[in-house]
Chains A and B, each alone.
Chain A
Amino acid sequence: MNYEIIVVGGGHAGCEAAYASAKKGHKTLLITSNIKNIADMPCNPHIGGSAKGIVVREIDALGGIMGKVADKTHLQIKMLNSAKGPAVQALRAQGDKIAYPKEMLANLNSLNNLTIQEGMVEDLIIEENTAKGVTLEDGTKIISQKVILTTGTYLKADILVGSTRTRQGPHGEKPSNHLSDKLKEYGFNIIRLKTGTPQRIDRKTIDFSKTKLEPGDNKLLTFSFDLKPCYKIEDQEPCYLTYTTGETHKIIMDNLNKSSMYGGLDDIKGIGPRYCPSIEDKVVRFKDKERHQLFLEPESRYYDDIYVQGFSTSMPPEIQEKMVHSLPGLEKAKILKYGYAIEYDAIYPTQLNASLETKVIKNLYTAGQINGTSGYEEAACQGLMAGINAALSIEGKEPLILKRSDAYIGVLIDDLITKGIRDPYRLLSSRAEFRLILRSDNADLRLRKIGYEVGLISHEQLERLLTKEKEIEELKQFLKDNKIKINDNNQDLFKANGINVSNTTISLEQLIKRPQVTMSFLEQLINIPFKEEIKEQVEINYKYEGYIKKAIAEADKMLKLEKKQIPDDIDYYKIKNIASEARQKLNEVRPKTIAQAIRISGVNPSDIAVLSVYLKKEYNNHE
Chain B
Amino acid sequence: MNDTICAISTAQGVGAIAIIRVSGIDAIKIVNKIFKGKDLTKVKSHTINYGHIVDKKKTIDEVLISVMKSPKTFTSEDTVEINTHGGIAPTNQVLELLLTNGCRLAEPGEFTKRAFLNGRIDLLEAEAVMDKINAQTEKQNEMANNQIKGKVSKLIDDLRDDMVQIISNINVNIDYPEYDDVDIITNDILVPKIKKLKEKIIKIIEESKNGEIIKNGITTCIVGEPNVGKSSLLNALLDENKAIVTDIAGTTRDIVEGRIIIDGIPLNIIDTAGIRKTNNIIESIGVEKSKEMLNKADLVLLVLNNNSKLTKDIKELYNKIKNKNHIIIVNKIDLENKLDLNYFPQNHIIKMSLKTKRGINKLKEKIKEEFNLEKIETEDPTYLSNTRSIAILKNCLKSIKDVEASIKNDIPIDMLEIDITNIWQELGKINGKYYDEELLDEMFSRFCLGK
Task: Please give the residue numbers on chain A whose beta carbons come within 8 Å of chain B beta carbons, in ascending order.
Answer: 50-51, 80-81, 83-85, 87-88, 275, 282, 286, 289, 292-293, 295, 428-430, 433, 435-436, 515-516, 544, 547, 550-551, 561, 576-577, 579, 598, 604-610, 612-613
B440 touches A429 (CB 8 A): no
The CA-CA distance from A544 to B180 in the complex, in Å, is 28
* With A50-B176, A293-B180, A428-B175: A81-B414 Cβ-Cβ less than 8 Å: yes
Which of chain A's residues have a CB closer than 8 A to the CB of B60?
A: none
- Chain B interface residues (CB < 8 Å from chain A): 1-2, 25, 76, 114, 116-119, 122-123, 167-168, 171, 174-181, 409-415, 418, 421-422, 432-435, 437, 440
Known: A87-B414, A561-B437. 12 other contacts (CB 8 A): A85-B413, A85-B414, A88-B174, A88-B414, A293-B180, A295-B178, A429-B174, A429-B414, A547-B415, A551-B418, A577-B118, A613-B117
The answer to whether A576 and B440 touch (CB under 8 A), given A293-B181, A429-B175, A607-B119, is no
- Which B residues are CB-close (under 8 A) to A435? 418
Whether the pair B440, A430 counts as a contact (CB closer than 8 A) is no
Contact of B415 among A87, A428, A608, A610 (CB under 8 A): A87
Q: How long is the Cα–Cα vector from A604 to B175 in the complex, in angstroms?
A: 28
CB pair B117–A577 under 8 Å, yes or no, is yes
Q: Are B177 and A85 in contact (CB under 8 A)?
A: no
Chain A residues with CB under 8 A of B434:
605
Q: Return the chain B residue nearest A50 by Cβ.
A: B175
List 29 contacting pairs A-B, 8 Å CB cutoff, sorted by A: A51-B175, A81-B177, A81-B414, A85-B411, A85-B415, A87-B415, A282-B181, A289-B181, A293-B179, A295-B178, A430-B171, A430-B175, A436-B418, A515-B409, A516-B410, A550-B418, A576-B2, A576-B25, A577-B1, A577-B117, A579-B119, A605-B432, A605-B433, A605-B434, A606-B116, A608-B435, A609-B440, A610-B117, A612-B437
Residues of B within 8 A of A598 (CB): 435
Q: Within 8 Å CB of B176, what residues of A?
A: 50
Which residue in chain B gives the minimum CB-CB distance to A578?
Answer: B119
Contact A606 B174 (CB under 8 A): no
7 A-B pairs with least C-beta separation: A85-B412, A430-B171, A515-B409, A605-B435, A88-B414, A428-B175, A88-B174
Task: List B contacts of A50 (CB < 8 A).
Answer: 174-177
Shortest distance from the beta carbon of B176 to any chain A beta carbon, whole Å: 7
Does the CB pair B414–A606 fall under 8 Å?
A: no
Main secondary structure of the interface of B (DSSP, over half): loop
Asked if A606 meets B415 with Cβ closer than 8 Å, knowing A576-B1, A576-B2, A577-B1, the reply is no
The 8 Å CB contact of B181, one of A292, A579, A610, is A292
Complexed CA–CA distance, A556 and B388 (Å): 24
Most buried by B among A85, A428, A547: A85
Supposing A293-B179, A561-B437 touch, asked if A547 and B174 sit within 8 A by C-beta, the answer is no
- Which residues from chain B contact A289 at a C-beta distance below 8 Å? 181
Which residues of B sit under 8 angstroms from A83, Cβ to Cβ?
412
The reply to whether A609 and B413 contact each other, CB–CB distance below 8 Å, is: no
Q: Give min CB distance, B352 to chain A, whole Å.
A: 54
| Complex interface: chain A residues within 8 A of B118 (CB) | 577, 606, 610
Whole-angstrom CA separation of A310 from B318 in the bound complex: 74
Known contacts being A292-B181, A429-B171, A576-B1, is A84 close to B119, with CB within 8 Å?
A: no
B-side contacts of A547, CB under 8 Å: 415, 418
Which B residues are CB-close (under 8 A) to A544?
415
Q: Are A604 and B119 in contact (CB under 8 A)?
A: yes
Residues of A within 8 A of B167 (CB): 430
Once bound together, how far apart are the Cα atoms of A609 and B126, in whole Å? 14
In the bound complex, CA of A576 to CA of B414 (Å): 43
- Min Cβ gap B165→A in Å is 13
Complex Cα spacing A500 to B178, Å? 35
Q: How far is the CB of A418 from chain B (nearest CB, A)?
A: 14
Write out the residue numbers on chain A whose beta carbons fall within 8 Å of the beta carbon of B433: 605
Are B1's CB and A84's CB within 8 A?
A: no
Cα A576 to Cα B4 with chains together (Å): 13
Q: For B414, list chain A residues within 8 Å (CB).
A: 81, 84-85, 87-88, 429
Using Cβ atoms and an 8 Å threshold, which residues of chain B touch A605? 123, 432-435
Residue of A nearest to B439 (CB): A605
Q: Is the CB of B2 within 8 A of A80?
A: no
The CA-CA distance from A295 to B177 in the complex, in Å, is: 13
Are the CB atoms of A610 and B1 closer together than 8 Å?
Answer: yes
Contact A606 B117 (CB under 8 A): yes
CB of B49, distance to nearest CB on chain A (Å):
26
Please give the distance in Å from A528's CB to the nearest CB on chain B: 23
Whether B413 contacts A84 by the Cβ 8 Å rule is yes
Which residue on A lies nearest to B435, using beta carbons?
Answer: A605
Q: Is the CB of B178 within 8 A of A293?
A: yes
Chain A residue numbers with a CB within 8 Å of B175 are 50-51, 275, 428-430
Which residues of chain A have C-beta atoms less than 8 A from B25's C-beta? Answer: 576
**CA gap between A612 and B113 in the complex, in Å:** 14
Q: How far is the CA of A310 from the CA of B171 in the complex (A)?
A: 19
CB distance from B274 to the nearest CB of A (A): 46
Please state if A430 and B174 are interface contacts (CB–CB under 8 Å).
yes
CB distance from B389 to the nearest CB of A (A): 16
Q: How far is the CB of B341 from chain A (nearest CB, A)?
A: 54
Set of chain B residues within 8 Å of A609, measured between Cβ atoms? 116-117, 440
Nearest CB on B from A61, distance (A): 22
- A residues in contact with B180, CB < 8 Å: 293
B410 surroundings in chain A (CB, below 8 A):
515-516
Find chain B residues with CB under 8 A from A430 CB.
167-168, 171, 174-175
In the assembled complex, the Cα of A80 lies from the Cα of B179 at a distance in Å of: 12
Asked if B418 and A515 sit within 8 Å, CB to CB, the answer is: no
Residue of B nearest to A580 (CB): B119
| Residues of chain B with a CB closer than 8 A to A88's CB | 174, 414
B76, B171, B418: residue with the most chain A Cβ atoms closer than 10 Å: B418
A87 nearest in chain B by CB position: B414
Chain B residues, CB < 8 A from A81:
174, 177, 414
CB distance from B2 to the nearest CB of A (A): 7
**Residue with the greatest number of chain B CB neighbours at <10 A, chosen from A50, A88, A607:** A88
Chain A residues with CB below 8 A from B181, complex form: 282, 286, 289, 292-293
Asked whether, in the complex, the Cβ of B76 is within 8 Å of the Cβ of A577, the reply is yes
The CA of A81 and the CA of B76, in the complex, are separated in Å by 52
A606, B432: Cβ atoms closer than 8 Å:
yes
Cα–Cα distance between A88 and B415 once the two chains are bound (Å): 9
Residue of B nearest to A239 (CB): B178
Q: How far is the CA of A83 from the CA of B414 in the complex (A)?
A: 10
Closest residue on chain A to residue B122 by CB atoms: A606
Report the separation of the CA atoms of residues A576 and B118 in the bound assembly, to the nearest whole angstrom.
9
Distance, CA A433 to CA B424, complexed state (A)? 13
* A468 CB, nearest partner CB in chain B, Å: 25
Residues in B with CB closer than 8 Å to A275 are 175
**Complex formed: what's the CA distance from A194 to B251 in Å?**
63
Neighbouring B residues of A428 by C-beta, 8 Å: 171, 175
Question: Hey, which chain B residues are within 8 Å of A612, CB to CB?
Answer: 437
Residue of A nearest to B428 (CB): A605
A81 to chain B: closest residue by CB? B177
**Which residue in chain B gives the minimum CB-CB distance to A543?**
B411
Q: In the bound complex, do residue A84 and residue B117 qualify as a contact, i.e. CB atoms below 8 Å apart? A: no
| CB neighbours of B177 from chain A (8 A) | 50, 80-81, 84
CA distance A51 to B414 in the complex (A): 13
CA distance A174 to B440 in the complex (A): 57
Smallest CB-CB separation from B179: which chain A residue? A293
Q: A462 CA to B2 CA in the complex, in Å?
A: 54
Q: Is the CB of B411 within 8 A of A613?
A: no
A608 CA to B432 CA, complexed, in Å:
12
Residue among A80, A292, A609, A610 with most chain B CB within 10 A: A609
With A577-B118, A607-B119 as known contacts, state yes or no: A84 contacts B432, CB within 8 Å. Answer: no
Report the minimum CB–CB distance from B120 to chain A (whole Å).
9
For residue A80, which residues in chain B have a CB less than 8 angstroms away from its CB?
177-178
Chain A residues near B1 (CB-CB < 8 A)? 576-577, 610, 613
Chain B residue at minimal CB-CB distance from A599: B435
A165 to B119, CA, bound (A): 48
Q: Complex formed: what's the CA distance from A248 to B411 in Å? A: 40
- B1 CB → nearest A CB, Å: 6
User: Which interface residue of A81, A289, A433 has the most chain B CB atoms within 10 A?
Assistant: A81
